[in-house]
Structure 1
């Protein structure tokens, strides 16, 4: 068998090409993993939803939420969109010291509309489709659940500012839920979306 030898120049070139191939391969895998586990939520204050029938992204830049006490540990905020007739309830800790200790990427329960009783639960009601905005009988309402397909996931919590009575934060979440049609409860639809809200907590 004929001996094969490398000159220093050829050996260096081969090593360089192998190194490039290795780096390219790692980068490709990392990008693929990042894409599959993407948790991006827009920095803009908003509420977005997508159903099998329609989707909307509601601008919440002018939404100024003040909390209502749900129980000793939990505040809730709620609002309705005039343009889409979507209504939501979002709950979170009363105490600012508790909210800064929140585990990011943790998942919390989806609740029946307005029945939030623990921090970071989400519930909502919205029209079945764009054509039923003014038809109050055709509304989807969230079903209580916590599973791989029913959750509200905290993506980011960011301190914004201090007010005389409150500490103000921005909370970003993504969610997935099952909702029933109020008119015919056996009709179940999947809703996914994201939101970013400005919320207030006490300074205790």
Structure 2
């Protein structure tokens, strides 16, 4: 799905609400179900949050992308660089952008680099599932740049400069001024013109 639109508000609750609900459960011994109704939370999410707080584990709220390679800041930096390149000239080709993304990932020592990137020295593995490439998705997310490949600008088809053969033939034999020769030519053409046969 290209541009997914959320249908629910689930997973968008702030951390402060979870902290206050967790404090009610842990300190005031309120039940998880009543605390979730009081703070308008999902009971399972609240119980998960309370359990992780008891075990002193790091608790991430909402939906998290676990296999994300670049952070949002790095993606924005990469997109602004591509925007600058496109203003100077045409920008980078899709293959060059993929190579640049691989080089950035290696230079920054990122943990989630897929093995296919290391094998091909590009991020080509992400482009198989769709016609649109990875860099197009990055630029769509950052909404900074319009993706286009370098090439000729196609203009609308122009009309032919030459006149058609019929009009050109007529123009050659036509006398353009009002003279007695022109009138005599018209009369002779009418006489010689074949008349339709009566049926």
TM-score normalized by the length of structure 1: 0.15
Higher relative contact order (CA 8 A, sep 6+): 1
Point out the structure with the larger helix share: 2
